[in-house]
Amino acid sequence: MIQGNRGIRRRRRRARGVDLDRIMMKRALDLARSAAAQGEVPVGAVVHRDGEIIAEAANTRENGADPVGHAELLALQLAGRVLGRWRLTDCTLVVTLEPCAMCAGALVNARIGRLVWGADDPKAGSCRSLYEIPADPRLNHRPPMVGGVHAAVSASLLRSFFQARRRKKKPC
Ligand SMILES: [Zn+2]
């Protein structure tokens, strides 16, 4: 009986977690859309703690002329500043695209509590596609990861962005 109740509670907690992932991903997708409107590759990221948004960012590589201006890296830096610490073990990072090697490394360094991403990135993704940096047992931190949340929306944003950019580049 007690175990049964616990099971129900655990399932409820899981359901809330999944809903929260979707809610936070929707916010990250909004950030990605606004990045696209400014000519940036549409990727957005949110750092939250139990649903409270601590920091959010979108790609700024083009407009900031910043080689490391990836959404998740910027969101991590901002979260550290907001919380006044570099360890983010109680936070979840939600990003619209599977993090690259640089960002996956930063997530491990930040001791992020959990990682959620949208679309897989077969060209640079380093959490499942090319490498599995946050799951590497040789590293000292391995956060739980969930990929594929609202993946189709994120992938279609990226696809339309690159299609439009190719069209613009074509000489008339
Ligand atoms: Zn990155």
- The predicted structure's pLDDT at residue 69: 97
- How many C-alpha atoms does 48 have within 13 Å on its Cβ side? 18
Residue 5 Cα to ligand 1 midpoint, Å, equals 42
Catalytic residue among 40, 56, 72, 98: 72
- Among this protein's residues, is 72 annotated catalytic? yes
For the entire predicted model, the pTM comes to 0.89
What per-residue confidence (pLDDT) applies to 82?
98
Q: How far apart are CA 170 and CA 172, in angstroms?
A: 6
Grouping H, G, I as helix, E, B as strand and the rest as coil, residue 70 is: coil
Query: pLDDT at position 1, please?
Result: 42
82 Cα to the center of ligand 1, angstroms: 21
Q: Please list the ranges in the chain whose pLDDT falls under 70.
A: 1-16, 171-172
Separation of CA 18 and ligand 1 centre (Å): 24
127: exposed, middle or buried (C-beta count within 10 Å: 0-12, 13-18, 19+)?
buried
CA angle centred on 166, ends 125 and 69, rounded to 5° = 45
Euclidean distance between CA atoms 37 and 39, whole angstroms: 6
